[in-house]
Amino acid sequence: MTLPDSEAALRQARVVCVANQKGGVGKTTTVISLAAAIADLGARVLVIDLDPQGNASTGLGIRIEEGEPSTYGVLVDGDALRAALRATSIDGLDLLPSSLDLAGAEVELVPAFSREHRLERAIAEVLTEYDLIIVDCPPSLGLLTINALVAAHEVLVPIQCEYYALEGLSQLLRTVDLVSDNLNRHVRVGGVVLTMYDARTNLANQVVSEVRNYFGDLTYTTVIPRSVRLSEAPSFGQPITTYDPSSRGARAYQRLAREVSFRMELPVQIPDETNLERLLGSSFTVPATDTDRDDRIAPAQETDA
């Protein structure tokens, strides 16, 4: 899909916030991998790191010190967003980085004027410069996540294929409703993506069907497999699409990138339309686990050891 120049100039970024107040469900991994895969399709993408942990920043190879231009200055001091942006090593992918000082913003913003609208105002100046702005939220429903919800057109919710996958989600959905009733009537949950799927466990399949029952068509067809390569990539400061482009994790996020681009009508070239139709037409695509020898499968319970 190519727009005439005049239309392209008027086009504004789709703003998506990736949220789930649970930690460790794959928010940051999804932000980094999806952003890189969509930039690879030719879209102009901005990642906003809204988590004081700064994992999206370091995962994209950018580590900043406290005091350097960052999300903190933009939200708390009203610094210009443009001055804080960094180009990443991926063509078409920029980053607004964060560092630990952002943790203070949650408290410092409480008495601030129009505290919920800080991010929305900050991104207004670059909306025509990107096709997609994707915000990595911290694992809480505090003021930082509220800022993301107020700035966003839609919420993408990663859900880990694990015990209690749906627990706590009603709180997130309530928060989205509250924001939509009071602060941004457009925001809604626009998609759900299942992460860390391990075909060897019955539990994972159970979670997949529960989520599909509950969220229906909002659930993306692509399911992200649990994969060691995906967990290794951040320590090399690279998205999976660069670190190991042929791994199962990379291929899954590339597939998700096509689905997301299609649903959000992003101006990208999707290489093989027939494949996409096949992909979107099938009700349930889970990754193969035993046919791929290029990629080891992480143990399902690695965090419990």
Ligand X SMILES: Nc1ncnc2c1ncn2[C@@H]1O[C@H](COP(=O)(O)OP(=O)(O)O)[C@@H](O)[C@H]1O
Which residues sit at the interface with ligand X, rule CB under 6 A? 23-29, 55, 139, 195-196, 224, 226-227, 230-231, 234, 249, 298
The interface partner of residue 195, options being Mg ion, ligand X, none and the CB cut-off 5 to 8 Å by kind, is ligand X
**Smallest distance from the beta carbon of 195 to ligand X, in angstroms?**
5
Q: Are 19 and 189 in contact (CB under 8 A)?
A: no
The interface partner of residue 247, options being Mg ion, ligand X, none and the CB cut-off 5 to 8 Å by kind, is none
Considering beta carbons, is residue 44 or 190 the nearer one to ligand X?
A: 190
Considering beta carbons, is residue 26 or 52 the nearer one to ligand X?
A: 26
The interface partner of residue 227, options being ligand X, Mg ion, none and the CB cut-off 5 to 8 Å by kind, is ligand X
Considering beta carbons, is residue 145 or 221 the nearer one to Mg ion?
A: 145
The interface partner of residue 29, options being Mg ion, ligand X, none and the CB cut-off 5 to 8 Å by kind, is ligand X
Retrieve residue 263's tokens.
């649903």
The interface partner of residue 180, options being ligand X, Mg ion, none and the CB cut-off 5 to 8 Å by kind, is none
**Smallest distance from the beta carbon of 49 to ligand X, in angstroms?**
11
The interface partner of residue 234, options being ligand X, Mg ion, none and the CB cut-off 5 to 8 Å by kind, is ligand X
Considering beta carbons, is residue 18 or 187 the nearer one to ligand X?
A: 18
**Smallest distance from the beta carbon of 235 to ligand X, in angstroms?**
9
**Smallest distance from the beta carbon of 133 to ligand X, in angstroms?**
18
**Smallest distance from the beta carbon of 78 to ligand X, in angstroms?**
27
- Residue 134 has a CB neighbour count (10 Å cut-off) of 26
**Smallest distance from the beta carbon of 37 to ligand X, in angstroms?**
14
Name residue, tokens 């919800």: 149
Binding site for Mg ion (CB under 5 A): 27-28, 55
Retrieve residue 182's tokens.
């009071």
Considering beta carbons, is residue 19 or 41 the nearer one to ligand X?
A: 19
Considering beta carbons, is residue 94 or 295 the nearer one to ligand X?
A: 295
